[in-house]
Amino acid sequence: MAILHTVNKSPFEKNSLDACVRLAVKGASVLMIEDGVYGAMKGTNKSDVVTGAMGDVSFYVLGPDLKARGIGEDKLIDGIKVVDYSGFVKLTVENDKVQAWL
Amino acid sequence: MSETKKFMYVNRKAPYGTIYAWESLEVVLIGAAFEQDVSLAFIDDGVYQIVKGQNTTELGIKNFSPTYSALGDYDINKIYVEKESLEARGLTVDDLLHLTWEDENEDWAEKDSIKVVSSSELKTLLDDSDVLLNF
């Protein structure tokens, strides 16, 4: 039963990303949206949360939310895939359910 | 009533995820009309508010980041950014908007408004303020 996890909070303000990574099974997908996209940046105090889980789960980030916040794709942790709104929909239908880490 | 107070606006939230950042900017601009001594501090996720290159076209909401550039015209030129907050987020001053003001005492020379300060410098600035407004 594949789960798509969404994280919409900054990892510096809430522990949503930590909780998500801690409780996602191998093979799960994690999509960072809204303020959650700050978790996709490399070279931060929180980058290890994503890089440490990269072998087990697939990470995605919503492009329009990156652009709104001035985050270029060159600032992202290697291996995170950027998706647009239709990619978001695709991930939703490809998985059996969605867990939103608010 | 001509007493001037030192106002410090403390910004700690990322833009767009909540309304705090925009509300703060609106209050700063309204408050600018009262000719007080105004400073802004960007701490924690607040530093994300002034990251350059923001483009909200695909979100369908207003990109208010260009408005920060107007602060200099309202004589708001003391913009403090906490160094530790930038570093924790992998950011440097080069990732931020270039905010300037013109110094009328020096033939309108253009000067930088943003000053990156350490936590220990910032705590003194907060302590020296008369009024703290938190967003």
Residues counted in chain A: 102
A1 Cα to chain B: minimum distance (Å): 30
* CA B21 – CA A10 distance, rounded (Å): 14
**A37, A66 Cβ separation under 8 angstroms:** yes
* CA B61 – CA B55 distance, rounded (Å): 10
Q: How confident is the model at residue B2 (pLDDT cuts 50, 70, 90)?
A: low
Residue B80, domain CATH: 3.40.1260.10
- Residue % of chain A over a pLDDT of 70: 100
User: How big is the CA angle at A34 (ends B54 and A30), to the nearest 5 degrees?
Assistant: 125
DSSP E strands, B13-122: 37-42, 79-82, 100-103, 109-112, 114-117
Given CB atoms, is B33 within the 8 Å cutoff of chain A?
Answer: no
> Which residues in chain A touch residue B55, judged by CB atoms under 8 angstroms apart?
67-68, 70
Given CB atoms, is A8 within the 8 Å cutoff of chain B?
Answer: yes
In a 10 Å sphere around its CB, with 0-12 CB exposed, 13-18 middle and 19+ buried, how is residue B115 labelled?
Answer: middle
Q: Look up the ipTM and state it.
A: 0.90
Q: CA-CA-CA-CA torsion for B70, B30, B126, B41, nearest 10 degrees?
A: -30
> Which residues in chain B touch residue A13, judged by CB atoms under 8 angstroms apart?
13-14, 44-45
Given CB atoms, is A68 within the 8 Å cutoff of chain B?
Answer: yes
Does A69 sit within 8 Å of B14, measured CB to CB?
yes
* CA B85 – CA B93 distance, rounded (Å): 11
Given CB atoms, is B45 within the 8 Å cutoff of chain A?
Answer: yes
Q: Which of A46, A49, A67 to probe the B interface (max B CBs under 10 A)?
A: A67
Chain centroid to Cα A71, Å, comes to 14
The structure's pTM equals: 0.93
Residue A9, Cβ neighbours under 10 Å: how many? 23
Closest-approach residue (CA) in chain B for A12: B45
Mean pLDDT of B73-83: 96
Task: Establish if B1 belongs to a structural domain.
Answer: no
pLDDT exceeds cutoff 60 at B11? yes
Mean pLDDT of B108-118: 97
pLDDT exceeds cutoff 60 at B1? no
Helices H, strands E: what count in chain B?
3, 7
* CA B130 – CA A4 distance, rounded (Å): 49
Does A70 sit within 8 Å of B65, measured CB to CB?
yes
Mean pLDDT of B104-122: 97
For chain B, the domain total comes to 1
In which domain, by residue range, is A59 found?
A: 3-101
For chain A, the domain total comes to 1
- Where helices occur in chain A by DSSP H, the ranges are 16-23, 47-53, 63-68, 85-94
For tokens 């601009």, the residue is B29
pLDDT in tens, B15-48: 999 999 999 999 999 988 888 999 999 999 999 9
For tokens 């013109």, the residue is B102
* CA A57 – CA A27 distance, rounded (Å): 5
SS3 content of chain B, % helix, strand, coil (to 5): 40, 25, 35
In which domain, by residue range, is B120 found?
A: 6-134
Residue A22, domain CATH: 3.40.1260.10
